[in-house]
Amino acid sequence: MKDLSFSIDEIRSQFPILKRTVNGKKLVYFDNGASSQKPQCVIDIINNYYCNENANIHRGVHFLSQEATTNYENARETIQHYIHAKESCEIIFTRGGTDSINLVATSFGETLQKGDEILISFMEHHSNIVPWQMLCERKELVLKVIPIHSTGELNIEAFENLLSEKTKLLAITHVSNTLGTINPVNYLIKKAHTVGAKVLLDGAQSIQHFPINVQELDCDFFAFSGHKVFGPTGVGVLYGKKELLESIPPYQGGGDMISKVTFDKTTYNELPHKFEAGTPHISGGIALGKAFEFLNNLDSEAVIQHERALLAYAEEKLMQIDGLKIIGNSKHKASVISFIIDGIHPFDVGTLLDKQGIAVRTGHHCTQPLMDFFQIPGTIRASFAMYNTLEEIDIFIAALQRSIDMLK
């Protein structure tokens, strides 16, 4: 049963780190795009796993091994239901979003032929650029890049022109980690499918902000990291359509991913194990399941409204600051704001904000081509989560103004 009320105090009370001070000030954590904080239930389940349940999975007949296996597989099912995948075998545990994309580049990439084209966009994170560059070099494929408008929105006309029968994969971010842009993925996926291309959505910055339904989206792959969605680091997920995952070769070789090994020939395990070589991050998978249970207990519509209010309030306040320019003004944005200030380096602002207890990210945000597009060295980025408050934004704005006054 969902708790349909959204009590910010109740939510904040579940995140112990939010009570701490940094440099003598109450922590204001606005670096959720880099990594989210963890609720007590996620921390507790990791602790409990190592105190009471630790064992390897899928291998032992003994009680602890079977218990750990059940908990790990239950977590897979929780994630399956959260993103509305048809079957739990479509949920592959990986080391994180980067690893998920590399899995597709390696395994799906193996099925591509010289001259085939891969389409990405100008606003991709390096994790959704470099694996494709490496693949293109290895297999003599062609990488094409969809340009964007100065608003930070995708150039749809250019996308349509770049798409052709040669396009085998569209690999695109759902939400830009730097601009906050929410891409029109429903349209992009439909259109890509008309030429027979598969679609990988990089969901690293979307899954923590709004519900995901991979069947409705009809994406072929969906990749994300656990640590950005209130779970631990070192674990992530690749969703893939079952038939597609079955048709591509394994990613890595090792234990658990095999059916039978002889020196003459090795056959592979069924999904999802075919893609999960070696002992996985067991406590991480279990804890990621718990993070999704935590999300399941919230009213997602209330979370969306709250984050929208944070974004609107912060943008309104920031725009009142002299010489400040917001980078990324898409009509549809998640609660991520990048900005620059005339004559001041982002790093200096980030450092002074930190002295006042405020955590933001500064720099290129692993999107260097995007920085080149805007002809800037980097931005200051405030990225909000559902536990942030309007009062924290007031503290941030006052601290930002103080920093600017010191630097000018």
For residues 248, 168, 125, 384, the Cα torsion angle rounded to the nearest 10 degrees is: -90
Question: Cβ 239 to ligand C6P, closest distance in Å?
Answer: 15
Residue showing tokens 């597989």: 73
Which of 107, 131, 135 is closest to 276 using CA atoms? 107
Rounded least distance, CB 263 to ligand C6P, Å: 36
State yes or no: residue 225 binds ligand C6P (CB under 6 A): yes
Cα–Cα distances in Å, from 71 out to 14, 93, 269, 398?
A: 22, 14, 21, 46
In 177-307 the beta strands, taken as DSSP E runs, fall at: 198-202, 221-225, 236-240, 258-261, 266-268
Q: How crowded is residue 74: how many other Cβ atoms within 10 Å of its Cβ?
A: 15
Binding positions for ligand C6P, 172-191, rule CB under 6 A = 173, 177
Q: Is 204 in the site for ligand C6P (CB under 6 A)?
A: yes
Which of positions 77-116 make contact with ligand C6P (CB under 6 A)? 96-98
38 touches ligand C6P (CB under 6 A):
no
Strand ranges for 205-293 from DSSP E: 221-225, 236-240, 258-261, 266-268
- Interface with ligand C6P, residue 359, by CB under 6 A: no
Contact 13/387 with Cβ under 8 angstroms?
no
Q: What tokens appear for 238 in the block?
A: 């690749």
Nearest distance in Å: CB 23, ligand C6P: 21
Q: Collapsing DSSP states into helix, strand and coil, what is residue 77?
A: helix
What are residue 198's DSSP bridge partners?
A: 169
Q: Per CB under 6 A, which region of 136-144, 153-161, 200-208, 326-334 contacts ligand C6P?
A: 200-208
Question: Which of 41, 51, 219, 366 is labelled catalytic?
Answer: 366
Residue 155 beta carbon to ligand C6P: minimum distance, rounded to whole angstroms = 19
Give me 344's structure tokens: 């001041």
For ligand C6P, the binding residue among 205, 208, 283, 335 (CB under 6 A) is 205
- Give SS3 for 204: coil
Stretch that binds ligand C6P, among 49-57, 79-87, 326-334, 359-367 (CB under 6 A): 359-367
SS (H, E, C) 259-296: EEECCCCEEECCCCHHHCCCCCCHHHHHHHHHHHHHHH
CB nearer to ligand C6P: give 131 or 289: 131
| Least gap, CB of 185 to ligand C6P (angstroms) | 13
366 is annotated as an active-site residue? yes
Which x/- pattern over 118-137 shows residues binding ligand C6P (rule: CB under 6 A)? Answer: -------x-xx---------
Of residues 98 and 330, the one with the C-beta less far from ligand C6P: 98
**Cβ distance to ligand C6P smaller for residue 18 or 238:** 238
Q: Which of 18, 30, 33, 403 binds ligand C6P (CB under 6 A)?
A: 33
Q: Is 365 in the site for ligand C6P (CB under 6 A)?
A: yes
Lay out the sheet containing 167-173: strands in order across.
91-94, 236-240, 221-225, 198-202, 167-173, 117-121, 142-146
Eight-class DSSP state of 50: I
State yes or no: residue 250 binds ligand C6P (CB under 6 A): no
Q: Which is nearer to ligand C6P, 58 or 384 (CB)?
A: 384
Interatomic CA distance for residues 383 and 25, integer angstroms: 19
Could you give phi then psi for residue 86, rounded to 5 degrees? -70, -40
Query: Which H or E run contains 402?
Result: helix 390-407
Instruction: Assess 361 for contact with ligand C6P (CB under 6 A).
Output: yes
The number of CA neighbours under 13 Å toward the Cβ of 49 is 24
Q: Minimum Å distance from CB 291 to ligand C6P?
A: 14
| C-alpha dihedral sign at 59, 64, 69, 70 | positive
Nearer residue to ligand C6P within complex by CB, 163 or 179: 179
> Which stretch, 45-53, 71-79, 300-308, 358-366, contacts ligand C6P (CB under 6 A)?
358-366
Residue 229: alpha-carbon gap to chain centroid: 8
Q: In the complex with ligand C6P, which residue's Cβ is closer, 177 or 269?
A: 177
In the block, which residue shows the tokens 């920093």?
403
Q: Which stretch binds ligand C6P (CB under 6 A): 19-27, 39-47, 148-156, 360-368?
A: 360-368
Does 403 participate in binding ligand C6P (rule CB under 6 A)? no
Using the rule CB under 6 A, is 71 a contact of ligand C6P?
no
Q: Which is nearer to ligand C6P, 6 or 373 (CB)?
A: 373
**Total number of residues that touch ligand C6P (CB under 6 A):** 17
Q: Interface with ligand C6P by CB under 6 A: which residues?
A: 33-34, 96-98, 125, 127-128, 173, 177, 202, 204-205, 225, 361, 365-366
Instruction: Give catalytic residues, as residue numbers.
Output: 366
